[in-house]
Amino acid sequence: MPAPPVRAPKGGVPLHLAALSDGGADPDAAHDDAGMEWWYVNLHLVTGAGEPLSVFAAFFRIGERDDEGGVSYSHTLAAAWSEPRTRRYTPLSCVDDANLTLIRKVLHHDRAYAPRLREALRHLVSADRPPLPDLPLEGEPAVRAVPFAVDYGPQGSLGRDPRGRYRLRLRHPGRPFALDCRLTPVRPAAWQGGDGTVAGLGESGEGMRYYSVTRLEAEGTVTVDGAAHTIASGSAWYDHEWGLDPISPERGYTHDEPEWDWCGLHLDDGQDLSVSSWRRSDRRSATGRTVDRTSLLVSPDGAAGTLDDWRFEPLERWTSLATCNTYPVAWRLTAPSHGVDLELTAAFAEQEVRTITVHRGFWEGRVEVSGRAGGRPVTGRGFVEVKPAQVLPRIDPLMDTIGAETRAQVALLYPAAASPSTTESLLGPIAPDLLAVLPHESLHRALMAPVGHTVGGIGKSWRSFALVAVLEALGVSSDPYRPLLAAVELLHTGSLMVDDVQDAAVLRRGRPAAHTVYGEATALNAGTAAYFVFDRVLRALVLSDADRLRTYEILCAMLRCAHAGQGLDLTRDWADGPGPDPALLGERVLAVHRLKTALPVRALAEIGAALGKAGPAQEAALCDYFEALGLGYQIADDVWDLKGHRAAAGELRKEPGEDIRNGRVTYPLVCALELLPGPDARWLWERVRGRPQDRAEIHACVRAITGCGALELALSRAEERLDRAWEVLEPLLPPYPVVALLRSLGFYAVTRDAELNG
């Protein structure tokens, strides 16, 4: 049974905080020497209608070192309503003007972000309002000591009455959600980790102070979809943490970024349990170090202890397509010394708060708990918070994340092992007698294995990201369309397999091209069959008939254009003539590139715009931007054919000069013909059109093209075209952070280096 409510004497520090008070000071009060301070509450409720609901709220106060050596403060609020039965998550993130100004100043001095991404982010935060989905705090935030109150205006406040009871109020300004509840402590506060210190979290090694009130009774009302419900029963958890040095904006963001995992659990045997791991991580080298670990175990009678031998291990992960953050969504928590062996499972995966205040977002969600504690079976519920490192010194980690998620989606459609169910998923509904006699292993080797071999290479799957980014830029969740990642990748992979046969390519994505492993006929057939996966995916998605029909039409048009472009690329008789005409050749090369590469990328934007219900001007501008992006990518690909495609570790991914060996007319070649003197231009033209096979002759052609400035001219023209398209598109999009990623994707496509090429 829980302990009786902890009451407070008249005046003074409430009894539930008395053991933590230093000289009569109120532990809940703000600390004016802290660079970071937050007050946090989570609740698990059951409404009068019997509906389960969980809510969290966190009030942040951030200290900034000013020019006179003093400290000024900015404020942010994060909250969410989590509905486990309907799997709906309604987040709220608000910032005040001072915090938005602080972010601008830090970005102004920043050197941690990739330069082009930093430029896009600076532009994003230059407006008067914060980027969506962040909202401005209404009113002037105030933090009072007597009586204790953290008042951030109508969107949220947390106060305490003379009896030690807290009152939490929340109101979402854009959605009909609210909360007004009183929280009565039933356990005394306890220092996390025994001494209440989180060491080494700051840039200079400074730490934080941290205590918890692990169980409070909740009563009041909660509003969901505009309907107010009485809280029939509810329990809450309260944290207060403060410390670190005030922020110095001139230092910018740090490469050595803090990240953490935390959980707070209520078990049905009356115990409360918390563990947290605090780290600093450097995205440049993909390395990190744990700076501290804390734990807290509170018994039903309020006695507090720690778990010294705990482990908190992820079991399953989920990738947010909106932020490209990957979070655990299932964990195993063990502490053998206390007989603790628990599994924590997210009520549902999509419980992410997206906010510019932590770069892109963090995961804060309800979890269900089962297992053993003290050697006895227990169940329970709780919250888990995951804040990963998110500064991007390069954009390719985002591409890597999307690539990993794309391959996971492909594996659902193209499993590694053969089976009757795999065959049926590939072919669609077929007669049972036919399914029973089909040689499933043979069919898998013929259709799935060659595709799996090619998908498993080092490609970045940026086309899949493009489709996702369009949806998110329009304010539409891309999560229901996650299977489209695989469909887009398989379409592209199938075309690559066909191209590799036609071009006699040796390598693809850092491994032998599929036809060199499985044979040309098998590779052609398997690559072509991969086109039809889009049909399987579209049939499974919940779409209106109009959206499904339009997507099919866009897809068919895309395939027609791509094959027309490939046909022209193969024949190349359009480039024949007595001598090179750079102007005419340039127009024709760009036309082939548009058909083969740019228009298929444009089609992805058109599909995203259709599903995201873009307006006519938005759709046209999105399509034009992605066509320019696709064209720029193809030109950059031609450039890297001359340099040789290598991955970050230096391994060769594609032979240099392959286009010259095949006699292909590329845009860098056209630019070289413009720049070279007449005799040199004719020499180069004759050599390339003769399809040289001798390595020395190929290298001589490469030197002629690269030595005259042709690569720089080709890329600058591609970038100028992309810039013009962006100038039209950018004002038409709502200011979501993914817009900065969209802009950076264009930079990536045109100016990527050898490590990013894929």
Nearest to 411 by CA among 402, 420, 422, 401: 422
Q: State the Cα–Cα distance between residues 489 and 672, nearest whole angstrom.
A: 33
Using an 8 Å Cβ cutoff, are 548 and 689 in contact?
no
Q: Residue 576: is its pLDDT beyond 80?
A: no
Nearest to 746 by CA among 264, 724, 587: 724
DSSP secondary structure letter of residue 595: I
Q: State the Cα–Cα distance between residues 229 and 551, nearest whole angstrom.
A: 42
Nearest to 115 by CA among 569, 586, 549, 743: 743
Q: Domain extents for the chain?
A: 16-387, 394-542, 576-758
Using an 8 Å Cβ cutoff, are 383 and 54 in contact?
yes
How confident is the model over 78-92, as pLDDT tens digits?
Answer: 999 999 999 999 999
pLDDT for position 756:
36
pLDDT for position 206:
92
Domain 394-542 sits in CATH 1.10.600.10: yes
For residue 474, CA distances in Å to 191, 321, 438 come to 45, 14, 45
Residue 2 pLDDT grade (very low, low, confident, very high; cuts 50, 70, 90): very low
DSSP secondary structure letter of residue 247: B
Q: State the Cα–Cα distance between residues 235 and 216, nearest whole angstrom.
A: 6
How confident is the model over 434-459, as pLDDT tens digits?
Answer: 999 999 999 999 999 999 999 987 66
pLDDT for position 643:
84
Sign of CA dihedral 293, 298, 299, 302: positive
How confident is the model over 621-636, as pLDDT tens digits?
Answer: 999 999 999 999 999 9
How confident is the model over 181-240, as pLDDT tens digits?
Answer: 999 999 999 999 999 999 998 888 899 999 999 999 999 999 999 999 999 999 999 999
E strand or H helix at 409, and its extent?
helix 396-413
pLDDT for position 648:
52
Residues 6+ apart with CB under 8 A from 296: 190, 191, 192, 193, 212, 214, 272, 273, 274, 275, 304, 305, 306
- Answering whether pTM is above 0.85, one says yes
Using an 8 Å Cβ cutoff, are 715 and 750 in contact?
yes
pLDDT for position 11:
52
More confident residue, 683 or 652: 683
Length of the chain measured in residues: 758
Q: Rg of the chain's alpha carbons, rounded to an integer?
A: 29
Report the SS3 class of residue 417. Answer: coil
Nearest to 746 by CA among 721, 711, 722, 718: 722
Q: Residue 67: is its pLDDT beyond 50?
A: yes
The average pLDDT across 542-566 equals: 95
Q: State the Cα–Cα distance between residues 256 and 281, nearest whole angstrom.
A: 5
Q: State the Cα–Cα distance between residues 540 and 525, nearest whole angstrom.
A: 24
Domain range 576-758, CATH architecture? Orthogonal Bundle (1.10)
The average pLDDT across 385-409 equals: 91
Classify the phi-psi angles of 677: left when phi > 0, otherwise alpha if psi is within -120 to 50, otherwise beta: beta
Report the SS3 class of residue 356. Answer: helix
According to DSSP, the β-strands at 190-191 and 178-185 are unpaired
User: Tokens 């489209």, residue?
Assistant: 484
Residue 19 pLDDT grade (very low, low, confident, very high; cuts 50, 70, 90): very high
Beta-carbon-side half-sphere exposure of residue 728 (alpha carbons within 13 Å) = 16
Q: Residue 461: is its pLDDT beyond 90?
A: no
127 class by beta-carbon count within 10 Å (0-12 exposed, 13-18 middle, 19+ buried): exposed
Q: Rounded mean pLDDT of the chain?
A: 92
Q: List 8's β-bridge partners, or say none.
A: none
pLDDT for position 71:
93
* Helices and strands, number each (H, E), in the chain: 23, 28
Q: Which amino acid is at 186?
A: V
640 class by beta-carbon count within 10 Å (0-12 exposed, 13-18 middle, 19+ buried): buried
Q: Which amino acid is at 288?
A: G
Q: State the Cα–Cα distance between residues 41 and 83, nearest whole angstrom.
A: 17
How confident is the model over 470-488, as pLDDT tens digits?
Answer: 999 999 999 999 999 999 9
Nearest to 207 by CA among 103, 260, 282, 278: 278
pLDDT for position 571:
84
Q: List 56's β-bridge partners, or say none.
A: 42, 80
How confident is the model over 644-666, as pLDDT tens digits?
Answer: 755 555 555 566 888 899 888 99
pLDDT for position 577:
65
Q: List 43's β-bridge partners, or say none.
A: 55, 236
The average pLDDT across 301-312 equals: 96
Share of the chain above pLDDT 90, in %: 81
Domain boundaries 16-387, CATH class: mainly beta
Using an 8 Å Cβ cutoff, are 459 and 509 in contact?
yes
pLDDT for position 755:
37
pLDDT for position 655:
66
How confident is the model over 523-547, as pLDDT tens digits?
Answer: 999 999 999 999 999 999 999 999 9
Indicate the range of 303-317, 505-519, 725-739 predicted with least confidence.
505-519
Share of the chain above pLDDT 70, in %: 95
Q: Which amino acid is at 91?
A: P
Residue 383 pLDDT grade (very low, low, confident, very high; cuts 50, 70, 90): very high
Q: Do domains 16-387 and 576-758 have the same CATH topology?
A: no
How confident is the model over 601-625, as pLDDT tens digits?
Answer: 999 999 999 999 999 999 999 999 9
pLDDT for position 608:
97
pLDDT for position 754:
39
In the numeric block, which tokens belong to residue 635? Answer: 């030109």
User: Tokens 């509840």, residue?
Assistant: 181
Using an 8 Å Cβ cutoff, are 111 and 138 in contact?
no
According to DSSP, the β-strands at 376-387 and 256-267 are antiparallel
Q: State the Cα–Cα distance between residues 22 and 199, nearest whole angstrom.
A: 20
CB atoms within 10 A of CB 372: 13
- N-term to C-term CA, the chain: 60
180 class by beta-carbon count within 10 Å (0-12 exposed, 13-18 middle, 19+ buried): middle
According to DSSP, the β-strands at 227-243 and 197-198 are unpaired
pLDDT for position 104:
97
How confident is the model over 153-192, as pLDDT tens digits?
Answer: 999 999 999 999 999 999 999 999 999 999 999 999 999 9
For residue 359, CA distances in Å to 155, 362, 392 come to 22, 9, 9
Q: Residue 10: is its pLDDT beyond 50?
A: no
* Crossing angle of helices 396-413 and 484-503, rounded to 10°: 90
pLDDT for position 758:
32
Catalogue the long-range contacts made by 142-150 (C-beta closer than 8 Å, 24 or more residues apart): 143/30, 143/61, 145/26, 145/29, 145/30, 146/26, 148/26, 148/28, 148/29, 150/30, 150/39, 150/59, 150/61
Q: How far is CA 102 from the centre of its chain?
A: 24
